[in-house]
Structure 1
């Protein structure tokens, strides 16, 4: 009888290579759930290793939660119920619904990347010992060098600037607002805006003033009028892929905003968190005016939500203020997460992942255009999001409710409003959220049918 005999990677200790082979075989279906692993002596003979190596490998697989040793019977791949006991708690989906609400990175190479990085770390006990210690406030010097090299490929300059590591984009927003604003100060934002800036302003008791937008983004003339009237401290922008509308500011508008903010001494907080292919990003506001701009990005969209790391680039004149605010909120970051990220930066895996994300989103955007072309606004080809302006007769909350009744979850324009002004009816679709293109196509078909049928007839009013 032929027994399962994997090929082991030669660049790892054999017991770790075998444990990883078990994990890979379970993932690709080569080893079935509840299947018995080969007896240790027979597998040792087949692989020309010691029984001790097999014992360590099986123990490592058990430690990872992949298999279970049953006394007197052998070692078995865990059943689905044993491997995924909390899957319903982890899964944020509503059963029977396709979720297009949150801009998560679509599933791809991330799990294997993380598995490989963690396996490499566990094979080096001294490295683990170093990473378990508190990191220096600004991070380990080798990690900072990795980030500095990576930033050379981003739309940012470090000339007369420096960078700090944050716990993601929201943390960068909170740190910046806390450092530069006091109670009663004013922040200008786009009239439809990422709610995280509103939360940070509310926490600091800072007033938010919305600025009019058109199909090209925020209008410079409106910013000028607001600067004259409100004397703001900050202007918060998402210029590359406006969240939620998806517009991209032209170079001309970016330069006009820089000129206005320079005249009125307003700092620009430039949010570049939303994923977009590097070639689709024009010159950043920070590159146009590094002395006037705080730029930040994060890796939750480039990798996945658990990668709670970001970079915040600030002018040297503001560096100490921002650093003190960062110190007060968190002191430092987890070197374990940072080390994983630096591995991917240095070995090219992060660049490969971003290339994959770009291709995947090109395909998903194309699917969306096939289904919803008559109702779409202009969007970036690699963006996770899509802005859907609703035809006459619809209200945003009515469309959201009807979509939900038909099994699709979308985000209302009302969720992004500043103050009490009700925006024009629209919804944001996160094309990246479904687990595959087929599920996305199914959801978009539902939305297309709803749009073609039109809103439900309302009761007559007398």
Structure 2
């Protein structure tokens, strides 16, 4: 039996979650080692003067997080530390938690109503090829032609033969990486970037190089030095607001990135999953360097989450590679979802919902500015989130845990950290993942925590 015991004086309401967080921190800090046996529910309840039900709920929460396991007849034990990275968001939403951790568009009943109507239309109009064919070239010619129209709203003028339909942005990103970077090669990206890119690169046998960034994204000199010193095959960029710090890369910076990529003959992978949502943005990098840029966009973050479909545009020299790698990793996009996307692009529903999202985000950003008044944070009028640097001496993990104890889930900044450059603790907060009222309440919790830190610092001076 381990000698470590929870401290009853630090428990806060809800007690089960506070206890679970305390045990989780002890596991993370090594105070509870892998294989350590925890007290029985009754023993811990007696020691902490809690109900057995409260301790049971805490253990259930830790089991859900895969930190402990119960073995019938033997007890409850700390699991071996996981080597897989944790996502920055809650894997599932608990009833008591205001979840500002997962990046989602704002959704209201109208979105569900539109999907229901689309499925009703589809029941009467589903083409035989979408239900019966295995061949992408049989299913998707019409969809590719309509995709060209949508890509034009994104700032690209491309041929349908260069477009592949994918099951959203993650599938497109995977295929793009597989197409330009063989196992063992190196890919450069922003030092604070896409949270799934690091594990994905690992699974594909790629080496990631996180580059220095500023308020426009990758610093050109850092990319040039990386190309000269490291022999990279591609650079992955998120130039339009979807990146964690919600930065928008200007046209001169985009042109500089293109010039360096051409000089060193590397591919560019451009993630533009917000597409036409972002107003007054510069043209995509793909429009400046169509001969070497693999560009992708999707509908899940700007139209409705269930519309899991995306468009991947590849230069002529990569078209065959993209088709083959898409076949082995996905075979093809889901035809039924593609039918809905094609209809919505054709009849204007997709753009209507994008415009709705833009206006709804204005309200959410106004709420954030009001509740966090006087607290510095980074955002963009069309970003789905804000990036909030932390003050005081509190770590990201402690701040996120403290917010969670008060019923609010947010994402640690280090979940998006790719480089080893100097780091300032921060958190990412989603603006669209819940209702307006819950957002205001959740931001209020964050503001109170931060203002408490500031007050503590002033008293210490």
* TM-score of the superposed pair, with normalisation by structure 1: 0.75
Query: Is there any run of 5+ residues in structure 2 with no aligned partner, and where?
Result: 1-89
**Against the structure 1 CA distance between its residues 251 and 160, is the aligned structure 2 distance closer, same or farther, given a 3 Å change threshold?**
farther
1:244-272 deviations in Å (ceiling 9; x for gaps): 11111111111111111110011110001
Partner of 2:451: 452
User: Does residue 340 in structure 1 map to residue 340 in structure 2?
Assistant: yes
| 1:278 shift after superposition | 4.2
SS in 2 for 1:236: strand
1:142 paired residue number: 142
Aligned to 1:104: 104
1:272 & 1:350 partners in 2: Cα distance? 16
Consecutive aligned runs of 4 or more in structure 1 exceeding 4 Å deviation: 419-422, 455-458
Aligned partners of 2:91 and 2:213: how far apart in 1?
A: 36
What SS does the corresponding residue of 1:164 show, helix, strand or coil? strand
Mapped to 2, the partners of 1:112 and 1:285 lie a distance apart of 36
Q: What are the equivalent positions in structure 2 for 1:223-372 lying under 5 Å apart?
A: 223-274=223-274, 277-372=277-372
In structure 2, distance between residues paired with 1:432 and 1:160: 33
Q: 2 CA distance for matches of 1:456 and 1:410?
A: 22
Secondary structure in 2 aligned to 1:376?
A: coil
Partner of 1:442: 441
CA distance in 1, matches of 2:105, 2:413: 21
Evaluate the alpha carbon distance shift between residue 457 and residue 445 of structure 1 in structure 2; reply closer, same or farther with a 3 A threshold: closer
- Equivalent residue for 1:411? 411
CA drift at 1:420: 5.7
Q: Contact conserved, 1:131 with 1:335, CA < 8 A, in 2?
A: yes
In the TM superposition, residue 153 of structure 1 has moved relative to its aligned partner by 1.2
Q: Aligned equivalents of 1:380 and 1:275: distance in 2?
A: 14
Cα 1:456–1:304 shift into 2, 3 Å: farther
Counterparts of 1:212 and 1:451, CA distance in 2: 27
Is it true that 1:374 corresponds to 2:370 in the alignment? Answer: no
Moved more, 170-179 or 134-143: 134-143
Q: What TM-score results when the alignment is normalised by the length of structure 2?
A: 0.75
Going from structure 1 to structure 2, the CA distance change for 1:278 and 1:212 (only over 3 Å counts) comes to closer
Q: What corresponds to 1:209 in structure 2?
A: 209
Contact residue 175 and residue 322 of structure 1 kept, 8 A: yes
Corresponding residue SS for 2:374: helix
Whether the aligned pair in 1 keeps the contact of 2:148 and 2:159 (CA below 8 Å) is: no
Find the residue that maps to 1:295 and give its secondary structure.
strand
Alpha-carbon distance in structure 2 between the residues aligned to 1:159 and 1:334: 22
Cα distance change on mapping 1:396 and 1:161 into 2, 3 Å = farther
SS in 2 for 1:301: coil
Structure 1: state its 5+ residue gaps: 1-89
Following superposition, the deviation at residue 93 of structure 1 comes to 1.5
Deviations 1:53-103 (A, max 9, x none): xxxxxxxxxxxxxxxxxxxxxxxxxxxxxxxxxxxxx99322211001111
After superposition, give the CA deviation of every residue in 1:379-410 in whole Å (9 maximum; x if it has no partner).
21021111001123232112111111111110
Per the alignment, residue 167 of structure 1 pairs with 167
Deviations 1:407-440 (A, max 9, x none): 1110001111126667311000110101x21111
Task: Determine the C-alpha separation between the residues in 1 that align with 2:327 and 2:427.
Answer: 38
How far, CA to CA, are the matches of 1:249 and 1:357 in structure 2? 22
Q: Distance in 1 between matches of 2:283 and 2:253?
A: 12
- For 2:132, the equivalent position in structure 1 comes to 133
Q: 2: CA distance between counterparts of 1:373 and 1:418?
A: 30
1: CA distance, partners of 2:211 / 2:105: 30
Q: CA RMSD in A?
A: 2.3
Matched residue SS, 1:208: strand
Give distance in 2, aligned partners of 1:408 and 1:328: 40
Aligned residue pairs total 366
- Determine which structure has more spread, i.e. the larger CA radius of gyration: 1
Equivalent in the alignment of 1:178: 178
- Give 1:140 shift: 2.9
Following the alignment from structure 2 to structure 1, what is the Cα–Cα distance between the partners of residues 156 and 310?
14
How far, CA to CA, are the matches of 1:337 and 1:161 in structure 2? 20
- Contact 1:235–1:267 (Cα < 8 Å) also in 2: yes
Looking at structure 2, the residues matched to 275 and 286 of structure 1 have their Cα atoms a distance apart, in angstroms, of 13
Match of 1:122 in 2: 123
For 1:60, the equivalent position in structure 2 comes to none
> Is the counterpart of residue 389 in structure 1 residue 389 in structure 2?
yes
Aligned to 1:119, the other structure's residue is in SS state: helix
Match of 1:200, SS state, is helix
